[in-house]
Structure 1
Amino acid sequence: MRYFLRDTHYSIVFIWVGMRTSGKLWIGKSAGEVIQGENSFDIIRYFLSFAVLVGHFRVITGIPYYFPMSSVDAVHGFFILSGFLVFYSYMRNPDIRHYIERRTRRILPPYVFIVTLCWMGGVLVSTLPVGEYLFSAQLWKYIVANYSFLNFIEPALPGCFQGEAVNGSLWTMKVEILLYITVPIVYYLMKRFRSFPVFIVIFIFSTLYNELFYYLNEKTGNEIFGILKRQVGGQLLYFYSGTLVLLCFDYFRRYIKFLFPVAVLVCYFRYDVPLLIYVEPLAFAVVLIGCAYYIKWFVFMRKFGNVAYGIYLFHFPVIQLSVWLGINEKSHILCFAFCVAGTLLLSILSWLLLEKPILSNRMFSSK
């Protein structure tokens, strides 16, 4: 019954939104100007990145630092922002080659950089001799798996960090890429059919996917089902909640004064009132995107390069390094400062020397 009610409730919510925003659920004519105008997406990305950093810092070092958002919620937040911004980017220019180029130039260079830095730097922290490390089958398994975004196949380097994962943040990258792949498909389906049924199918499928692996995890106690629950099928809810706000943007702007406080309350009380957890993805999307457009204090940050992606990618191995150096046993404050400073340094260098130069030049011309 719990699973049936959850599916039914999702359907009712999105049917109601669809009826209020007409059949096609398409972005309003005036919304494009607003979307490209002043916003605070940069500070939201930083907030989400630091939430993930603090969450992993707590787990790896055992030092109980507080942050007002969990790392799990922060990851969901990133998927919501991607659903909003990436889908909008594709709508502006639905050319597949241009789309692949833009996504590749944005996500691939810093990813390849950190994977390379980790396995090359691993020789300095490994308990194995250099020759044994370099010719270890585990090292080459790590290299192939991580360059292929299949980090779960081999997350550890030989003799490094007591066999723990070198960079536990990278699991989301394959999910992000798979979500990117769905964008042209969903866009085509929305042009071929009415948009609202497409969203209904997406949300019901993702809900059933979550319910299936939640049930199997609870029934068997096998963590593999919990891991599968977090994969792309389960994240469609968050990604396309961001897209739904985009496509209903005129409605979102018109009723934001009502929607925003209601969405905040839904997110805050989601675990106390059973039904609220069922609409949390859409409520979270309203909160994040509402903050981006109606909190103007941080608009100035758009003038500077955004290194939030680097913070997300680089912080985990820096925290592992701090534990390897034993800094966490000497001073909690010093350890946290080391992790933040090291992560920021890597992120800024990556932005200035790698990401920014690549983003400013096209690999090939686009229409």
Structure 2
Amino acid sequence: MRQLRLLAAVAVVIGHGYVLHGETPAPRVGGIPLHTLGLYIFFTVSGYLITSSWNRWPNLPSFLRNRALRILPALAAVVLLTVLVIGPLATDLTLSEYLTSYPTWLYLSGVLLVPQYELPGVFVSHLSPAVNGSLWTLGIEACCYIATALLGVALRRFAWAGTLILGVASIALALQPAGGPLESLRAVGAVCCYFAIGALACHLRVDRRHFPALLVVCLGVGWLALGAVNAPVATMCAWVVVPALVLATALRSKNSTSKVDVSYGVYLWGYPIQQLVIQVNPDLPVAFSVALTILFTLAVATLSWHHLEAPALGLKRSGKLGAISRLRSKPALRASTA
């Protein structure tokens, strides 16, 4: 599923590029903006994989440690480098004013999944002064991880029922009317429902046999056609069609021999790099600006993977192997002391 996650991350970068250049609406697929569709793909895949991980190794401390090792090191790096490198280079303030400003250091709360979006004097002349608008989803995804584990602990083999209830509640949030008291939670409900659908598919052991090729093609073509004529209805249909297309693609794809996974790094770095490209050359055509952003982002994400994310995942694997070896050694220990 690495290729699918990378495709989703690049879609987020492209969509954000159009928005940050003021080229709205961003390109749409099935009535959904490209960057939003990328998020839906991410959350669907994440729901499936995270639930699969829990089902294989239902140990709460190990699960939480492994999720932290996957998310936090790369997140800490992007937050720290944003404050200490991007901020001083891009701010309109003097270095002294920037470093003594309280919001500068408040931005570090992003390491704890409490994102701040602006830095003093940074990108203030842009259409959006947000330094990294992509960070808003990380806390939500972490909450989805915790919910997966808690449902597994509390309900065990009936965790699918709890997942279904949370999915229905998420759809209810996503359908909140504009101007209503819960309007701000619509985007949260939308991404959470895709996570729940992916998780439910894992619980129900959905596999590629459930996605005949002809059915998948018909769903995709019909959804694209509907998006061209009635985007609101296509958006609602996407709750069924997008997870079906994502899972059909992922479950049919062959396992890659490469262990490199730069999708998370692309997601983390795409937004601030796009803002820097705009700052350096605001008159660059949007297509060229987005292309440059993707190239720079892939380079930074590759460095992040090899020097930060992969070593952190090595700790995750060694911890699991250590736990397995301890479990295997216990019977021998008991036998030797009997």
Q: Among residues 294, 301, 320, which one is paired with 2:252 in the alignment?
A: 294
| Matches of 2:301 and 2:117, distance apart in 1 | 21
Moved more, 180-189 or 112-121: 180-189
1:117 aligns with 2:88: no
2:132 aligns with one of 167, 172, 179: 167
CA distance in 2, matches of 1:310, 1:130: 28
Match of 1:60 in 2: 20
Q: Supply the distance in 2 between the matched residues of 1:343 and 1:273 (Cα, whole angstroms).
A: 31
Would the aligned equivalents of 1:97 and 1:366 in 2 still touch at CA under 8 Å? Answer: no
- Which of the numbers 60, 63, 68 marks the counterpart of 1:96? 60
Q: Residue 228 of structure 1 corresponds to which residue in structure 2? A: 185
AA aligned to 1:228 is: L
The whole-number CA distance in structure 2 between the counterparts of 1:311 and 1:62 is 22
The one of 150, 155, 169 equivalent to 2:117 is: 155
SS at match of 1:155: coil
Q: CA deviation at 1:304?
A: 4.0
* TM-score, normalised with respect to structure 2: 0.82
Q: Quick one: which of 143, 149, 153 aligns to 1:184?
A: 149
Is 1:281 the counterpart of 2:239? The answer is: yes
State the partner residue of 2:269. 314
- Cα RMSD (Å) of the superposition? 2.7
Look up the match of 1:24: none
Q: Distance in 1 between matches of 2:118 and 2:232?
A: 39
- Report the residue type matching 1:293 in the other structure: L
SS in structure 2 at match of 1:162: coil
Alignment partner, residue 310 of structure 2: 356
Structure 2 regions of 5+ residues with no counterpart?
A: 325-338
Mapped partners of 1:184, 1:198: distance in 2:
11
The residue type equivalent to 1:168 in the other structure is G
Question: Secondary structure of 1:329's match?
Answer: coil
CA distance in 2, matches of 1:66, 1:230: 19
| Contact in 2 for aligned 1:79/1:235 (Cα 8 Å) | yes
Provide the TM-score with structure 1 as the length reference.
Answer: 0.76
Matched to 1:56, the amino acid is H
Q: Distance in 2 between matches of 1:219 and 1:104?
A: 35
Partner SS state of residue 161, structure 1: coil
Matching of residues 234-253 of structure 1 within 5 Å: 234-249=190-205, 253=209
Name the SS of the counterpart of 1:310 in structure 2: helix
Alignment CA distance shift 1:333-1:209 (3 Å): closer
Once the two structures are TM-superposed, the CA of residue 219 in structure 1 deviates from its matched residue by 5.2
**Does the CA-based 8 Å contact 1:189-1:198 persist in structure 2?**
no
Shift of 1:76: 1.0
Residues 273 and 309 from structure 1, CA distance in 2 versus in 1: closer, same or farther, beyond 3 angstroms? closer
User: 2:133 aligns to what SS in structure 1?
Assistant: coil
* Cα drift, residue 234 of structure 1: 3.9
Superposition pairs for residues 251-270 of structure 1, below 5 Å? 253-257=209-213, 259-265=215-221, 267-269=223-225
CA distance in 2, matches of 1:172, 1:136: 26
Equivalent residue, structure 1, for 2:335: none
| Helix, strand or coil at the partner of 1:165 | coil
Compared CA separation, residues 83 and 127, structure 1 to 2 (3 A): same
CA distance in 1, matches of 2:310, 2:163: 35
Pairs within 5 Å for 1:71-90 = 71-90=35-54
In structure 1, distance between residues paired with 2:224 and 2:155: 33
Q: How far does residue 206 in structure 1 lie from its aligned partner after superposition? A: 1.8
- Cα shift at 1:179: 0.5
Q: How many Å separate the matches in 2 of 1:306 and 1:276?
A: 31
1:204 is aligned, of 141, 147, 168, to: 168
Cα gap change, 1:130 to 1:246, in 2 (>3 Å): same
Residue of 2, 9, 14 corresponding to 1:49: 9
Contact conserved, 1:54 with 1:67, CA < 8 A, in 2?
no
Matched positions, count: 311
Query: 1:358 and 1:74 mapped to 2: Cα distance?
Result: 25
Instruction: Decide whether the 8 Å contact of 1:270 with 1:277 is kept in 2.
Output: no
The aligned counterpart of 2:103 is 138
Indicate the percent of aligned positions where both proteins have the same amino acid.
25
- Quote how far apart the aligned CAs of 1:277 are: 4.8
Distance 2:94 2:103 in 1: 14
Q: How far apart in 1 are the matches of 2:47 and 2:97? A: 44
Structure 1: segments with no counterpart, 5+ residues? 1-40
